[in-house]
Amino acid sequence: MTNPFAGDVIVVVAHPDDEVLWLGAVLPLARKIVMVLPGHAVNTDLAAARARSIARYPLNNLETLPLQTAGVHQQSDLLRRRPIEYGVSLMESCPKDCAERYRENFRSMCRMLETYMHKGVTVFAHNPWGEYGHEEHVQVNHAVMRLARRHGCSVWAWEGFSAAWQVERGIRLRADHYPEDATSMLPSVELNVDLDMYTRIRDLYQEQGAWTWADDYVPPNPSRYIQLVRAGQGLIDAVPGSSPRGAGILTRWLRSGRTRASAVSPR
């Protein structure tokens, strides 16, 4: 596949299988695939299945960080939570050790991901609403967007499931904080999924017991990706309202009356 992006492309995801589920179309372009939270602090069976999958991974550009998931999945209120600096707000009932690990993981991943974030690099990662709202997908997005602004990188993410799809399932993060009338104005690009590669990696995860989505799921082909940061300039805020500069860029687009920004060349 011809690379339409300037410079190196890297994929950064929270967990094993996220890279092929949400960013499968990008894998043939990636110089590196980085899994931030390959271990699991609570589910030892899943941790072992993921370790087996990583050991047998069919691509030779995979790297992992020495971090474990915090155990906070479904520990946030899907109807009322809000984006915060290190991810999303958790419920008071979340175990204190998990909540602390969630905060510490953010500090650690920001430090460890510095090595990958250089001026001119294009990063594909989770979207700000975490695809289907996963707390650690949101967290990885926040870390990547923070570092991209600091180091002059560009960030893209899968457009993902619609706000309506999520609201039907009781998940309101996208609908409440990232309205589609705004995100639809972001630059976008469509990429074809290599279905043979997708199937090979999916089958590996399923054989090892590490697949975490519907067994028969096939990603949209082509898949559409939206740009969140361009050469260090935020086009949308990970935490809405936290960066006047980033919000200003998106606001100017919305006020300009442009219909879509998909014709903008990716870089």
The pLDDT profile of the chain, 267 residues, written as one tens digit per residue, is 667 787 899 999 999 999 999 999 999 999 999 999 999 988 999 999 999 999 999 999 999 999 999 999 999 999 999 999 999 999 999 999 999 999 999 999 999 999 999 999 999 999 999 999 999 999 999 999 999 999 999 999 999 999 999 999 999 999 999 999 889 999 999 999 999 999 999 999 999 999 999 999 999 999 999 999 999 999 999 888 766 554 444 545 445 545 444 434 455
Residues 6+ apart with CB under 8 A from 195: 218, 221
CA 97 to chain centre: 24
pLDDT of residue 4: 74
Q: What is the 3-state secondary structure (H, E, C) of the chain?
A: CCCCCCCCEEEEECCCCHHHHHHCCCHHHCCEEEECCCEECCCHHHHHHHHHHHHCCCCCCEEECCCEECCCCCCCCCCCCCEECCEECCCCCCCHHHHHHHHHHHHHHHHHHHHHCCCCCEEEECCCCHHHHCHHHHHHHHHHHHHHHHHCCEEEEECCCCHHHHHHCCCCHHHHHCCHHHHCCCCEEEECCCHHHHHHHHHHHHHHCCCCCCCCCCCCCCEEEEEEEECCEECCCCCCCCCHHHHHHHHHHHHHCCCCCCCCCCC
Q: In 3D, which of 133, 160, 128, 161 has the Cα closest to residue 144?
A: 128
- The arrangement of secondary structure in 9-256, i.e. its CATH architecture, is 3-Layer(aba) Sandwich (3.40)
So what's the pLDDT on residue 229?
96
Residue 264: the pLDDT is 40
Q: Any idea where the domains of the chain sit in the sequence?
A: 9-256
- Can you tell me the distance from the alpha carbon of 168 to that of 126, in angstroms, rounded to the nearest whole number? 21
Of 67, 60, 102, nearest to 81 by C-alpha is: 102
